[in-house]
Amino acid sequence: MYKPYLHRVQYYETDRMGVTHHSNYLRFMEEARVDFLEQIGYGYQRMEKEGLVSPVVSVNLQFKKPTTFYDQLLIDVEVKDVSVVKLEIAYTITCNGEVVCTATSVHCFVDEEGRPISLKRKNVELYNLLLSLCEKNR
């Protein structure tokens, strides 16, 4: 249905040892999540235009293998769980066919003033779309 996000590690994303700095994986995840939402027709610009904001509540990363400058990372994104107030995204990051990192991010739904809202009430179309993509429902 959608294509994995491709990121090539840049020199400035590595540390003194030549390894991709762990903090960059959060940025890679965000890039992949934004791309995923665009691919399913519900990018951040559309969400925000419709008065919906989805901040990060928590993240969890497990590093399996290091990556270095110019490595090509493929980031698969999938909806792990969705409820009326929360969205959990799972990420699998691979390099040369090997898993280098797995991760999840949890997001809540708030209005433009930062007040929690029910996604099902605020935007049933997006809620149903995410529900249809949820791994638990497949």
Average pLDDT, the chain: 95
Using the predicted structure, report yes or no on whether residue 36 has a pLDDT greater than 80: yes
Domains of the chain are: 5-137 (3.10.129.10)
Annotate 26-42 with b (16+ C-beta within 10 A) or e (fewer): eebbeebbebbbeebeb
The Cα-based distances of 39 to 5, 11, 22, 82, 124 in angstroms read 10, 28, 26, 18, 19
**Residues classed as catalytic:** 15
Structure tokens at 30: 């965000």
Query: Exposed/middle/buried for 3, CB within 10 Å: 0-12, 13-18, 19+?
Result: exposed
Using CA atoms, how far apart are residues 79 and 90, in angstroms rounded to an integer? 6
Predicted local confidence at residue 135, as pLDDT: 76
How large is the average pLDDT for residues 93-108? 98
Residue 136: which pLDDT band, with cuts at 50, 70 and 90? confident
Predicted local confidence at residue 48, as pLDDT: 92
Residue 1: which pLDDT band, with cuts at 50, 70 and 90? low
Predicted local confidence at residue 2, as pLDDT: 84
Q: pTM here?
A: 0.94
